[in-house]
Structure 1
Amino acid sequence: MYSTLEKKYKLIQKELTIGTIALGGVFLIGTLWYRFVENWSWEDAAYMTVITLATVGYGETHPLGSRGRLFTIALILLGVVNIGYIVNRFTEAVIQGYFQEGIRLRQQRRLMESLLEHYIICGFSRTGRQIAKEFWAEGVPFVVIDSEVESVQKAQGEGYMAYQGDATLDDTLLRVGIERAICIVAALPSDAENLYTVLSAKTLNPAIRAIARASTEEALQKLQRGGADAVISPYITGGKRMAAAALRPQVMDFVDGILTGADRQLYMEEFLLDPAFCPFVGQTLQKAKLRSQTGGLILAIRRIDGNLIGGPTGETVLMPGDTLICMGTAEQLRSLNQILGPIRSQKLRKPKSS
């Protein structure tokens, strides 16, 4: 399935190609007629056909009889129709900017083909816009998918890479590099669309992390059964955060300050320990001295079996496959990333300035 813009560009390409082929066919017919019916040389036949189609007003190359003149009249009419059609389609393409759009589409396709370990946002509504804003602040590569031209134009106007298409279709996901992505966020307005998107994404890339939006409890459960790694209900989550803000306002301000925004001083990050690269696997936190070396604070450790250790002590042993949940400044987390080894194929995210 192609986007509307792609369809328009491909249609104008097809029409111009058909017009050019038709004009070539008329030229061939004219040349063959003058060569075999009028018994002219190939050079004279081609020359007569060109000046006839161009309607330049030159005289006949050789005298023509009534039959030849009637054919020449028909040739002129065919040429005028074909050339007029080509000029009309070419002029419309220039005025409407289809050629510029084609160049932009090719550039966009090359950019999408170069994406690696990127994030995909499906839907650019209020939720999708906020997600894109946070991703942009974090400096992570991402692409937006939306079926509406206006939404795609808004996303592109804000500097985001965007593609117009139906996110529930495999072809659309393949066009934005689903097989190379590390996470997809289904933020479409319909729970059914989000479910289809998650199912398609997991089928095309079983290793991808799928985050989905749900409007109801029932949809939340179905999305989880459909393979979503995390399902967020704006109403449930919003209610919990409002309650927490009322009961523990300072805690919420602190948590919000380290989780979102481009102007914060403290950040939270997670690090996966790969025994092939990390030199501290098998050591205790006290022996590893991560805090003294970097200044970063290890808040929790998620074991490979899913067990969460909150507030690990110095005697906690670092195990293969552990995920360290850490907090610190951007420089502290960057130092922590360096001494833990090349555990990511990309560098630690550097937040963009607002």
Structure 2
Amino acid sequence: MAGAIALGGVFLIGTLWYSLVEGWSWEDAAYMTVITLATVGYGETHPLGSRGRLFTIALILLGVVNIGYIVNRFTEAIIQGYFQQGIRLQQQRRLMESLTEHYIICGFSRTGRQIAKEFRAEGVPFVVIDSDMESVQRAQTEGYTAFQGDATLDDTLLKVGIERAICIVAALPSDAENLYIVLSAKTLNSGIRVIARASTEEALQKLRRGGADEVISPYITGGKRMAAAALRPQVLDFVDGILTGADRQLYMEEFLLDPAFCPFVGQSLQKARLRSQSGALVLAIRRADGALIGGPTGDTVLMSGDRLIGMGTAEQLRSLNQILGPINSKKLRRPKNS
């Protein structure tokens, strides 16, 4: 910008000189100034004396300096932009390669933003994918790791490390695109957990048939929550307080019993004394075959592949995790502000 202004000033000075001092017409003065600054080698428009030639020499030098400055800055901007873009891509590639046991959010619409907010409150590593550059920039502004690309393509999912991820959330507005994501994710990583968004009942069924582990319809879920808020407001407040939010005191967590690490497989809850050792409450047990035992008693036997659903403070759940041994489906996380 400064170089262009300086060049314009030189052009104005040259035109005024040839017009006012040499007595040329404005057209001839402007033409002489242009061919002088451009150093094209044309002859003089009108004969010049010694004074005019000295001024023309100075004008040529000023023009060469200014044009050289403009070209230099322009070239520098192009080169810096190219290398900076390359550096950004390299940094992004290294970041994606470093992700492991992470979550992937496909789509940064209102649903995706809320999911990202909850993930950040939980302190889990995750990456956002969106094809819209503005959405990606917004996610990055909010401090999230984001990648621009089409989440329905295998190449995009591979770039965000889907083979190392433990869960992917298909939260795009289109049911068809979410189905593509489900199929691609299960193909690239058969063990990944897939959560999908559905707009209609028909899409909900198709996504489940496509391999989604859980399918959530915002309209159905929203209707159920509104009904619960009307009928059982205190229960809903309590459940919300232990499921979401960064300032909660009680948490719920699930634990997978691995016989290779858990010493309590085959024992009853009474004998395992999980409550007395950790302080955490075992609310339910999901058997490996899908059967759910709500409110298990002391006689309930712990079996291989069981998923224990526990409730307690962060420290109580962490203590329960240590008692049960390493879990291979997910790791217990400490909320950032707990």
Q: Which residue does 2:239 correspond to in 1?
A: 255
Displacement of 1:250 in angstroms is: 0.1
Classify 1:266/1:222 alpha carbon distance in 2 versus 1 (closer, same or farther; 3 Å).
same
Q: How many residues align?
A: 269
Displacement of 1:93 in angstroms is: 4.0
SS in 1 for 2:100: coil
TM-score by length of 1: 0.73
The question of 1:317 aligning with 2:301 is answered yes
SS in 1 for 2:261: coil
Displacement of 1:225 in angstroms is: 1.1
Distance 2:325 2:161 in 1: 28
Displacement of 1:206 in angstroms is: 1.1
Classify 1:293/1:210 alpha carbon distance in 2 versus 1 (closer, same or farther; 3 Å).
same
Distance 1:237 1:345 in 2: 26
Displacement of 1:136 in angstroms is: 0.5
Q: 4+ runs of 1 displaced by more than 4 Å?
A: 84-90
Distance 1:346 1:90 in 2: 49
SS in 2 for 1:342: coil
Distance 1:164 1:86 in 2: 32
Alignment of 1:277-288 (within 5 A): 277-288=261-272
Distance 1:282 1:86 in 2: 76
Classify 1:346/1:211 alpha carbon distance in 2 versus 1 (closer, same or farther; 3 Å).
closer
Structure 2 letter corresponding to 1:184:
I
Distance 1:343 1:193 in 2: 33
TM-superposition CA deviations, 1:198-240 (whole Å, max 9, x none): 1111111111111100111111111111111111000000000
TM-superposition CA deviations, 1:167-202 (whole Å, max 9, x none): 000000000001111111000011111011111111
- Asked whether the 8 Å contact 2:102–2:164 carries over to 1, the reply is yes
Structure 1 letter corresponding to 2:257:
L
The question of 1:109 aligning with 2:93 is answered yes
Distance 1:347 1:195 in 2: 28
SS in 1 for 2:246: coil
The question of 1:223 aligning with 2:202 is answered no
SS in 1 for 2:105: strand
Alignment of 1:95-244 (within 5 A): 97-244=81-228
Classify 1:326/1:175 alpha carbon distance in 2 versus 1 (closer, same or farther; 3 Å).
same
Considering only aligned residues, what root-mean-square deviation do their CA atoms show, in Å? 1.7
Q: Which residue does 1:92 correspond to in 2?
A: 78
Q: Which residue does 1:293 correspond to in 2?
A: 277
Structure 1 gap ranges (5+): 1-83
- Which shifted more, 197-206 or 163-172? 197-206
Distance 1:108 1:260 in 2: 30
SS in 1 for 2:168: strand
Structure 2 gap ranges (5+): 1-69
Displacement of 1:259 in angstroms is: 0.3
TM-superposition CA deviations, 1:115-168 (whole Å, max 9, x none): 111110000000000000001101111100000111111111111110000000
Distance 1:249 1:121 in 2: 30
SS in 2 for 1:200: helix
TM-score by length of 2: 0.77
Structure 1 letter corresponding to 2:240:
D
Could you tell me the percent identity over the aligned residues?
Answer: 84
